[in-house]
Amino acid sequence: MTEADFVYDRYDHVRPIRWTGEALELLDQRVLPFTLVHEACRSSEEVADAIRALVVRGAPAIGIAAAWGVVLAGRGLETNDSAEALRRLEPAIQRLHAARPTAVNLAWALARMRGVLARSGADWCEALEREARAIETEDLAANRAMGRAGAALIEPGSGVLTHCNTGSLATAGFGTALGVIRAGVAEQRIGRVFATETRPWNQGARLTAWELSQDGIDATLIVDSAAAHLMKTGQVQWIVVGADRICANGDTANKIGTYQLAIAARHHGVKFMVVAPSSTVDMATAAGDAIEIEQRDPAELLAFRGKRVVAEGVRAWNPVFDVTPHALIDAIVTEKGVVLQPGADKMRALFAAQ
Ligand code: MRU
């Protein structure tokens, strides 16, 4: 452990995913911040349902949960033949894959689990468990590395604005964009943190604000529509966000509203940073217009706490991700390195092997 890790530990207490050896326990993000309850998943179907229902959410966290889902699916199988296991697990893997479409980490983690089955022998069950553990451990290490690299780009005394929840709750721990903010606060570079509410599911208001308060990091909440005004008043120098999928040219899918933040940031001379592990980089997708954007239930807009608040008959459109063109991004920070002013050539130079 480095000295920086000790300092970072002080700001890193929340963990959303617990493997007990029998079940996957997920901190239920639907009921935070006032109810802290874990939902125990004992089958891959339960894990797929939990991902779909947003019990667990955030690109890296759903990849990790899906990997443990494959471990659970393997528990019922009685065979020493890993090729047969792979065949029989495929429907469960497909169900996990279909749980959410936009974050590439889900497909990436499942591809790793398939790869282990293809390579292992009679010990495939233990090998699956080792791989799920490795995916989780590597994610935490990547977040710490990105935290350091991203914070180094921020001038001391800066204000930052983040969107959605990209923290410990969305990862194995520490977070991506929120990891940069944790590191920046620990290193006394970041003077002030702002978080958007992130309508309609309020990841910022319910999750980011709670998570930061757990770690003693002071944050100020704004309504999503106050972001351009915040930039205009000179209170933030960086927008720091996560990603659900980064294409081969650097175009980035992230929580709905990210794109308009990037446009406003460019207009006001505020820098725009995307922070994500290399598992979020999808070199097989050339550009952002090929990304499937998840649509969720319009009821998220039409109702509040289960009660309809919009006149009957009114319809809503609820895409939950958007794509920020690479030209609006100043830095993509990954554990493999930082890409400044990203484009296809620079992305290829760092991620050609993916
Ligand atoms: O719908 P969600 O809450 O899963 O969306 C999450 C985001 O868009 C995050 O910004 C992204 O997954 C990065 S999380 C480290």
CATH number for the domain harbouring residue 318: 3.40.50.10470
- The whole model's pTM is what? 0.95
Strand partners, 331: 273, 340
Q: CA torsion, points 177, 181, 184, 188, in degrees to nearest 10? A: 170
Question: Which residues lie below 8 Å from residue 134, measured CB to CB, with a gap of 6+?
Answer: none
Q: Do 22 and 86 belong together in one domain?
A: yes
Question: Is the Cβ atom of 170 under 6 angstroms away from ligand 1?
Answer: yes
Handedness of CA 211, 17, 167, 55 (dihedral sign): negative
Give the residue numbers spanning the domain of 241: 144-351
Determine the atom of ligand 1 nearest the C-alpha atom of 167.
15
Query: Which structure tokens are listed for 150?
Result: 């991203």
Question: Is the Cβ atom of 242 under 6 angstroms away from ligand 1?
Answer: yes
Give the C-alpha distances (Å, rounded to integers) separating 116 from 68, 153, 195, 278. Answer: 13, 37, 39, 19
CA distance 141 to 147: 10
**Phi, psi at residue 321, to the nearest 5°?**
-135, 160
Q: Do 192 and 268 belong together in one domain?
A: yes
Q: Is there a contact between 250 and 339 (Cβ–Cβ < 8 Å)? A: yes
Q: CA torsion, points 345, 97, 103, 194, in degrees to nearest 10? A: -160
Q: Is there a contact between 266 and 226 (Cβ–Cβ < 8 Å)? A: no
Quote the distance between the C-alpha of residue 157 and its chain's center. Answer: 27
Question: Which residues lie below 8 Å from residue 240, measured CB to CB, with a gap of 6+?
Answer: 150, 160, 161, 162, 177, 180, 181, 273, 275
Q: Do 313 and 212 belong together in one domain?
A: yes
Question: Is the Cβ atom of 164 under 6 angstroms away from ligand 1?
Answer: yes
C-alpha of residue 321 to centroid of ligand 1, in Å: 9
Going by C-alpha positions, the residue among 34, 50, 60 that lies closest to residue 178 is 60
Quote the distance between the C-alpha of residue 352 and its chain's center. Answer: 23
Q: Do 183 and 110 belong together in one domain?
A: no
DSSP string of 58-98, one letter each residue? SHHHHHHHHHHHHHHHHHT---S-HHHHHHHHHHHHHHHHT
Q: Of 113, 142, 171, which residue sits at a domain end?
A: 142
| Grouped pLDDT means (10 residues each) for the chain, 354 residues | 69 89 97 97 98 98 98 94 95 98 96 96 96 98 97 98 98 97 95 97 97 95 98 98 98 98 98 97 97 95 92 97 98 98 98 85
Q: Enumerate the active-site residues.
A: 244
CA distance 243 to 240: 10
What pLDDT, on a 0 to 100 scale, did the predictor assign at position 3?
Answer: 62
CA distance 47 to 310: 33
Q: Do 161 and 138 belong together in one domain?
A: no
Q: Is there a contact between 347 and 339 (Cβ–Cβ < 8 Å)? A: yes
Q: Of 142, 159, 184, which residue sits at a domain end?
A: 142
Question: Is the Cβ atom of 258 under 6 angstroms away from ligand 1?
Answer: no
What pLDDT, on a 0 to 100 scale, did the predictor assign at position 13?
Answer: 80
Q: Do 163 and 280 belong together in one domain?
A: yes
Q: Is 246 helix (H, G, I), strand (E, B) or coil?
A: strand
CB atoms within 10 A of CB 317: 7
- CATH classification at residue 28: 1.20.120.420
C-alpha of residue 77 to centroid of ligand 1, in Å: 33
Going by C-alpha positions, the residue among 324, 339, 263 that lies closest to residue 293 is 324
What pLDDT, on a 0 to 100 scale, did the predictor assign at position 14?
Answer: 82
C-alpha of residue 60 to centroid of ligand 1, in Å: 8
51, 55, 57, best to mutate for ligand 1 pocket (most atoms within 8 Å of CB): 57
Query: Which structure tokens are listed for 25?
Result: 């326990």
CA distance 49 to 210: 25
Q: Of 142, 173, 188, which residue sits at a domain end?
A: 142
C-alpha of residue 83 to centroid of ligand 1, in Å: 34
Q: Do 134 and 162 belong together in one domain?
A: no
Q: Is there a contact between 82 and 124 (Cβ–Cβ < 8 Å)? A: yes
Question: Is the Cβ atom of 103 under 6 angstroms away from ligand 1?
Answer: yes
Q: Do 121 and 225 belong together in one domain?
A: no
C-alpha of residue 123 to centroid of ligand 1, in Å: 34
Q: Do 30 and 153 belong together in one domain?
A: no
Question: Is the Cβ atom of 63 under 6 angstroms away from ligand 1?
Answer: no
Q: Is there a contact between 62 and 39 (Cβ–Cβ < 8 Å)? A: no
